[in-house]
Amino acid sequence: MLPIGNIIVKEGIMTSMQTDISRQRKKSATNKRSAIPVRERILVAAGDLFHRQGIRGVGVDAIAEAAGTNKMTLYRYFDSKDELIEEWVRGMVTHKEEDWKDLAAKHRGDPHGQLQDWSRRVSSRLASMENRGSALGNALAELPDPNHPARRVIHEHKQREHKRVLKLCKEAGFPDPALSANLFYMLLEGAHSCVQCIGMRQIGEHLVQVVDLMVENARRTR
Amino acid sequence: MLPIGNIIVKEGIMTSMQTDISRQRKKSATNKRSAIPVRERILVAAGDLFHRQGIRGVGVDAIAEAAGTNKMTLYRYFDSKDELIEEWVRGMVTHKEEDWKDLAAKHRGDPHGQLQDWSRRVSSRLASMENRGSALGNALAELPDPNHPARRVIHEHKQREHKRVLKLCKEAGFPDPALSANLFYMLLEGAHSCVQCIGMRQIGEHLVQVVDLMVENARRTR
DNA sequence: GCAATATGTTACCAATCGGTAACACCGCCA
DNA sequence: TGGCGGTGTTACCGATTGGTAACATATTGC
């Protein structure tokens, strides 16, 4: 769990710290700057709704209400719904890349350890997407327009991620690093997808087991 | 490529046999039953548009026009857009299951061969989803309502598919069939997802290679 | 050639959606 | 005290959507 700004990002999905912001403030203390500034409340609410109901399945009105504000204020912070989507996606991507940096810092000079820890982190994140799958993956499916800014953000992120895995596989001394990297990446993406129909526990555990097997094997035959 | 009824299903996506049905018939011969009956033309057009533009991104009017007919006729064959979606999904699922049966028939008593051939078929299908990923996966992302009939159809299909892979792994004598089955399934789903950001050639080839490696290994140590 | 059936056409409905304008309100700081 | 910036409220707009009704037209079977 990593804090980004004032937002708490938990397991790949931004979640509101209090379940119902809109209820807490009625007539009194109308605007006591409720700990979290409006803009971030909007982002949190949008992320929650986007993930649960689909990007196209939720209107800006619903987002504003869930954030405890109104549409007008939302449009004072975001030029359009598309920009809101983009910022939400950017937040998730940033968080994931921070996690990679953290991974590298904690296992400096130990690519095997990085890969193993990485599989464990992915596995533990699977719980939050048991019903709706990966938010980034769903976003790709929901934004077919190849020119949508959010799409580019996701695309570039995934390519950076793949590159990083490839680099790790090279450093780890895998005999065919390109093959291993693609295998790891298929496992990563596959786990996010499978969790919807097979369940998180099995998939998470087996993801970890497979990565462990591969890494142990690479360690021994080195 | 397997024919289902009068529809040609190619590489997981239904495609029209003629690129532009609507243009071919203007004033003369208004309705010569243009080889393909209306209902199926609608299904084909809908599938094409759903996949390219997203289910929620295309209206029934556009579907009718692409099918060379009109909205009224569409609603004479389908009670609602949701039912159209469901039938489209059901068609893809049926096709995939036919493919599994074909696989079993061609490699009777040879689970290793089935798994290998399966990876090759998946790999060759990847080309048709380089830009938009798996139609079934996207459908799940675009239909968050857990009670949507199409969602159930996909869910049940994936579970049957997973079961079949598990059975194959048992027959193939893998030491931990549950683990191997999940590995295969993650690879399958992952390949469909990765193809969007890494490209079809690499992913397809590596999918085949990995499955071959696993199967050869199981064959030897048996 | 007639009737039945299938398809096309037009017009329409209610609901929703993204986005904007105008104005009222509240709290803060000088 | 007064003004100013941030926020809430209401009402509205145009476009699009899923879905329906009524009627015209064409095709087919007899």
* Tens of pLDDT, residues A86-104: 999 999 999 999 999 999 9
Q: Is the pLDDT score of B112 beyond 50?
A: yes
| Strand-pair partners of A13 | A10
CB within 7 A of nucleic chain D: A 30-31, 37-38, 68-73, 76; B 29-33, 58-62, 71-72, 75, 79-82
Residue A199 — pLDDT band, cuts 50, 70, 90?
Answer: confident
Rounded Cα distance, B44 and B35, in Å? 14
Q: Is the pLDDT score of B108 beyond 80?
A: yes
Q: Is the pLDDT score of A55 beyond 60?
A: yes
Residue B201 — pLDDT band, cuts 50, 70, 90?
Answer: confident
Is this prediction's pTM over 0.75? yes
CA at B35, C1' at C8: how many angstroms apart? 19
Contact (Cβ atoms closer than 8 angstroms) between residue B54 and residue B132: no
Q: Is the pLDDT score of A182 beyond 50?
A: yes
Do A185 and B194 count as a contact with CB atoms less than 8 A apart?
A: yes
Q: How far apart are the first and last CA of chain B?
A: 34
| Strand-pair partners of B13 | B10
* pLDDT at residue B7, as a whole number: 36
